[in-house]
Amino acid sequence: MGDLPPLSFKNRTRPVDENGFRLELKELRTSLNAGTSMAEAVEWYTNANAALLGHLTKEIKDTDSSTIWRYLVGFKNLLRSIECKGIASVLGINYFARGYLRPRAHERYIAHMVLGRDLLDNTLNLVPSLIPLHKDIKEDSPEYQVLEKKNQQIVDNKYQAGSVADAIEYFDQTATLLDKLRAVQKQLRQYIRKGVTDSLTEARRSEAVCAGILVLVCVVSPIIIALVTNAVNTIQVYARNLSEKARELEHEKELSDSLLYQMLPPSVAKQLKQTQQVPAEFFASVTVYFSDIVGFTAIAAVSTPYQVISFLNSVYKLFDERIECYDVYKIETIGDSYMVASGLPVRNGNKHATEIASMALELLEATSMCRLPHRPDQTLCMRSGIHMGPCVAGIVGSKMPRYCLFGDTINTASRMESTGEPMKIQISDDVKRALDRTGLFITSPRGVVDVKGKGEMTTHWLEGRTGPSPVRPTTTTMDYTPSFLARIHSQQGRTSPRYKTEKKGQY
């Protein structure tokens, strides 16, 4: 075994397991009996301790920055300090036994002594609770000052006669100091054990709390999911209801707007809704049409009130359907009087006379084909009059606002109707000149007529158009339902659930 090379942990590239370390330690102890020098044995132990401390340092670096980390670093430094002091004590024994140290051994002694003190101071800085223990070592050890003097004597390295007794005494004093440092190391080990135990207890407590929270979450989660699902369903139902109510509100708004636009001109109605007031407006030239039913008083006298209302509704519905094809606006109906104007509230240049003339001819033609529902043998006769000129128009009233026209033009147009003849359209001289400029209408002179409030006026009959008449609907049935009510009913039918179901079934 003496031929074996000295064992060493220097430059080892891979870690040694427990069995490998025991095997190498056994081989070292066997080689000591075979001639291995003490220096080689000390070097092996030094390298082994360095390897173990290096491994401990690596393990400590993987921990956190808590108190345990400081304890572990302090424990590692204290181990290395004891090791350095032990190596230095071996060199010190050699000094007292021989009387001197060789330069290389002297350097190693100083290096290990300084390193041991620095590591011990570092341990006390990391673990301040060990300072009283170290202080007690200094104060309670009478050999401590003697040992310090001997250490200084070794540092000076003055030659003296070697003494085995001095070497043994130095060994005993050093061993006593190292035993006390190992007692400090044991106390630090207890600190570490207590800290680790507390950390494990806290970890278990945290683990139990986390497990409890997890169980609570698992128990509460279905309830929360059910509540959230219920809330989502409720919100969805509410959203659908709200959407349906919004559609119904929009539909009702359309119906109310439709009814409002039947009572007032759309442009005036929009302005009235926006500003709450519509100022009166002057129009330089408009054409106004009046008509009434000839013999209406006699018809009303032989008819029931319901028959009269139904008869007027059917006639006005027929008129309303026809005038929608022209740029005109129905002002109002009073009894059997029907008043229409063109050129207001939206100006249309010089087209108002031709629009009213074309409309009057069509209404006259439609009237000639009408029969009274309850008196089928009696033909409906109508008297019409047209005049053009300036007027003022505006909204009158706040409870039931009406769009009214004011001026001599309206009075004159009314006189053209009242002084006319059945199934004829009487026009003023101003209207004839306007129509003549277009060359599209046929007129004939009536002559001079005495008009109340105006005196004698030259009037004419509007007889027809020179070109073909535009194709218009030829409704002759006397429907009793008013136009705006029929339109509202049709809109309601298209938006009703039954209508939607029927339409869906068609596709």
Give the pLDDT confidence score for residue 236 in this predicted structure.
92
Close Cβ partners of 162 (under 8 Å, ≥ 6 residues apart): 96, 97, 98, 99
* Domain contains 269: no
Can you tell me whether residue 382 is helix, strand or coil? Answer: strand
* Domain contains 143: yes
Same-domain status, 154 and 72: yes
Close Cβ partners of 2 (under 8 Å, ≥ 6 residues apart): 31, 34, 35, 36
User: Contact at 8 Å (CB) between 345 and 272?
Assistant: no
Same-domain status, 148 and 101: yes
Nearest to 382 by CA among 504, 294, 289: 294
- What is the DSSP track for 186-253? HHHHHHHHHHHHHHHHHHHHHHHHHHHHHHHHHHHHHHHHHHHHHHHHHHHHHHHHHHHHHHHHHHHH
Nearest to 272 by CA among 261, 259, 282, 283: 261
* Domain contains 236: no
* Distance of alpha carbon 113 from the chain centroid: 71
Give residue 141's pLDDT band: very low, low, confident or very high (50, 70, 90): low
Average pLDDT score over residue span 330-343: 86
Rounded Cα–Cα distance for residues 199 and 68 (Å): 9
Compute how many other C-beta atoms are within 10 angstroms of the C-beta atom of residue 34.
10
Give the pLDDT confidence score for residue 488 in this predicted structure.
52
Rounded Cα–Cα distance for residues 204 and 223 (Å): 29
Give the DSSP H/E element, type plus range, for residue 140: helix 131-140
User: Contact at 8 Å (CB) between 383 and 422?
Assistant: yes
Compute how many other C-beta atoms are within 10 angstroms of the C-beta atom of residue 180.
18
CA–CA–CA angle 387, 390, 394 (5° rounding)? 110
Rounded Cα–Cα distance for residues 177 and 205 (Å): 42
Average pLDDT score over residue span 290-308: 82
Give residue 478's pLDDT band: very low, low, confident or very high (50, 70, 90): very low
Rounded Cα–Cα distance for residues 318 and 472 (Å): 12
Nearest to 25 by CA among 48, 46, 1: 48
* Residue % of the chain over a pLDDT of 90: 17
Give residue 5's pLDDT band: very low, low, confident or very high (50, 70, 90): very low
Same-domain status, 450 and 504: no
Read off the pLDDT of residues 306-325 as tens digits, 9 standing for 90 and up: 888 888 888 888 888 888 88
- Tell me which residue range forms the domain holding 390: 278-476
Average pLDDT, the chain: 79
Residue type, 421: E
* Domain contains 259: no
Res. 2: pLDDT tops 60 = no
From first CA to last CA, the distance across the chain in angstroms is 106
Read off the pLDDT of residues 199-232 as tens digits, 9 standing for 90 and up: 888 889 999 999 999 999 898 889 999 999 999 9
* Domain contains 245: no
Report the predicted TM-score, pTM, of the whole model to 2 decimal places: 0.49
User: Contact at 8 Å (CB) between 184 and 77?
Assistant: no
Same-domain status, 158 and 304: no
Same-domain status, 405 and 492: no
Rounded Cα–Cα distance for residues 507 and 502 (Å): 9
Close Cβ partners of 255 (under 8 Å, ≥ 6 residues apart): 488, 491, 492
* Domain contains 124: yes
User: Which residue, of 176, 211, 246, is where some domain finishes?
Assistant: 211
* Domain contains 312: yes
Give residue 356's pLDDT band: very low, low, confident or very high (50, 70, 90): very high
Res. 181: pLDDT tops 70 = yes
49-53, 189-193, 292-296: which has the minimum mean pLDDT? 49-53
* Distance of alpha carbon 371 from the chain centroid: 66
Largest Cα span, the chain: 171
* Residue % of the chain over a pLDDT of 70: 81
Same-domain status, 393 and 465: yes
Compute how many other C-beta atoms are within 10 angstroms of the C-beta atom of residue 401.
17
Number of domains in the chain: 3
Average pLDDT score over residue span 406-420: 90
56-70, 352-366, 397-411: which has the minimum mean pLDDT? 56-70
* Domain contains 435: yes
Give residue 266's pLDDT band: very low, low, confident or very high (50, 70, 90): confident
Give the pLDDT confidence score for residue 453 in this predicted structure.
80
Average pLDDT score over residue span 111-132: 84
Give the pLDDT confidence score for residue 350 in this predicted structure.
87
Same-domain status, 293 and 439: yes
Give the pLDDT confidence score for residue 11 in this predicted structure.
46
Contacts 24+ apart (CB under 8 A), 23-27: 27/1
Same-domain status, 498 and 411: no
Nearest to 73 by CA among 195, 202, 179: 195
Same-domain status, 297 and 201: no
Q: What is each CA distance from 88 to 134, 146, 155, 173, in whole angstroms?
A: 19, 16, 11, 13
Res. 239: pLDDT tops 90 = yes
Strands 329-334 and 402-406: unpaired
Same-domain status, 424 and 502: no
Nearest 5°: phi and psi at 337?
Answer: -85, 140
Read off the pLDDT of residues 145-168 as tens digits, 9 standing for 90 and up: 788 888 888 888 888 888 888 888
Same-domain status, 439 and 502: no
